């Protein structure tokens, strides 16, 4: 039997892995589940991704790239000189509210680094990219603090099901930035 030429198969497997995690969580990710979701033979998954960690790395990397591409395209944090605290509050609110299932999926992949050492460098890339992005507005130490606060706010909203209070979030960001609002 001739081998079928399928140059997009690797990408379809990554997309399928993201769908599987979105539907079943990290615990539901298996080569078999991904092969079924991608409608390819089981051997294709292990050919392209020897381990599930390899597949998790590719999935998280794809999510990271899409996230930062979207941040750039939508100018989610405004231009330098904008009210950074207000922009970050809007950013957090939109990240959680625009597509909660997508945000949950992205954080589930990101947090997979807790148990999957191979995924840690990709999670670290996200942290570093977010901090680097924020250095357009502030110093590197404050940028890292703002990146951590952004993650914390998003995770708390996703875990509790609560909405982000944009004004409260703006006030918290302003305190870290060092420009407290009227309540300080």
Q: How many domains does the chain have?
A: 2
- Residue 109: in which H helix or E strand, if any? helix 100-111
| Residues 2 and 20: beta-carbon distance below 8 Å | no
- Phi and psi at 25, nearest 5°, equal 85, 175
Same structural domain, 107 and 26 = no
Same structural domain, 65 and 14 = no
Distance CA 73, CA 48 (A): 31
From first to last of the 184 residues of the chain, give the pLDDT tens digit.
Answer: 445 677 899 999 999 999 999 999 999 999 999 999 999 999 999 999 999 999 999 999 999 998 888 877 666 666 767 789 999 999 999 989 988 888 998 999 889 999 999 999 999 999 999 999 899 889 999 999 999 999 999 999 999 999 999 999 999 999 999 965 544 4
| pTM for the predicted model, two decimal places | 0.82
Range of the domain at 86: 59-177
Looking up residue 74, the CATH number of its domain turns out to be 1.10.357.10
Supply 91's token pair.
């950013």
Q: Is residue 182 part of a domain?
A: no
């Amino acid at each position: 039997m001739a081998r079928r030429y399928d140059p997009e198969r690797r990408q379809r497997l990554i997309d399928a892995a993201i769908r599987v995690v979105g539907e079943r969580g990290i615990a539901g990710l298996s080569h078999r589940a991904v092969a079924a979701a991608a409608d390819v033979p089981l051997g294709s998954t292990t050919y392209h991704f020897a381990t599930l960690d390899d597949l998790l790395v590719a999935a998280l990397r794809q999510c990271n790239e899409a996230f930062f591409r979207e941040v750039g395209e939508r100018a989610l944090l405004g231009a330098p000189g904008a009210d950074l605290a207000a922009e970050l509050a809007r950013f957090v609110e939109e990240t959680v509210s625009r597509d909660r299932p997508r945000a949950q999926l992205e954080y589930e992949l990101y947090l997979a680094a807790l148990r999957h050492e191979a995924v840690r460098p990709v999670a670290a890339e996200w942290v570093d990219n977010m901090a680097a992005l924020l250095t357009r507005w502030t110093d590197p130490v404050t940028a890292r603090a703002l990146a951590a606060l952004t993650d914390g706010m998003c995770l708390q909203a996703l875990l509790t099901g609560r909405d982000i209070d944009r004004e409260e979030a703006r006030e918290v960001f302003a305190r870290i930035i060092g420009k407290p609002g009227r309540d300080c």
